[in-house]
Amino acid sequence: MTRTRWLQVGGVVLVFAVAAWIASSILERVVSPAPAPSTAPSPAAPAASVPHIIATLYYGTPDGQALAAVKREVPLGEGPREQGRQILQSELEDAPAPYLSLIPRGTTLRAFYITDRGDAFVDLSAEASTLHPGGSTHELLTVYAIVNAVTANLSSVERVQILIDGRQADTLAGHVDLRRPFERDTVLVRETKGTQ
């Protein structure tokens, strides 16, 4: 074969290759449907997917001598019992500055339930008592931080009984009698700057 003949054969092969590639591209577009524009909403951030309420929680004032009522976001619970659990879980978290946490760190909520008579039972782990720093004022503030947080946010609750480790306890740290239920009491609440 002459050089001219090789060039002609090469040219023909090249033309067929280009034509095959073009035909393949056209066929691919015709056979495969174009993707539809996405109408699905983009996934929301995890925190935004959980509804919240604004609840009134209670912490120690910076001087440790009174309660401060502080508005905070709390996850929405389904029904009063679950809402009460969410409120108490938030109450057990560290206090926002400049307030003081009144419930010892490490304390957990073991159970929370409400009777038909409007009595709530808050069952805390043993740390609420064993790690409590003591002192009559601090103990009183701890009790009413819990009682007021429940009664201020749950209209169906009139009284709160605090249990420790599933049992009735005499006191948290030797001063406040826990053998009876408590009603809401705002005498210990002091208006502070930043309190809403």
Residue 24, domain extent: 1-33
pTM reported for the whole predicted model: 0.73
pLDDT of 41: 45
- Exposure of 89 in the CB half-sphere (CA atoms within 13 A): 13
pLDDT band at 49 (very low <50, low <70, confident <90, very high): confident
- Asked if pLDDT for residue 39 goes beyond 60, the answer is no
Domain presence at residue 189 = no
Domain presence at residue 188 = no
Co-location of 85 and 14 in the same domain: no
- Radius of gyration of the chain measured on its C-alpha atoms: 34
Domain presence at residue 196 = no
Co-location of 79 and 123 in the same domain: yes
Give the number of other Cβ atoms within 10 Å of residue 55's Cβ.
21
Give the model confidence (pLDDT) of 98-134 as tens digits: 999 999 999 999 999 999 999 999 999 999 999 999 9
Give the model confidence (pLDDT) of 125-184 as tens digits: 999 999 999 999 999 999 999 999 999 999 999 999 999 999 999 999 999 999 999 999
Question: What phi, psi does 124 have (nearest 5°)?
Answer: -105, 155
Co-location of 50 and 28 in the same domain: no
Q: How many domains does the chain have?
A: 2
Domain presence at residue 195 = no
Co-location of 75 and 15 in the same domain: no
Co-location of 8 and 104 in the same domain: no
Domain presence at residue 96 = yes
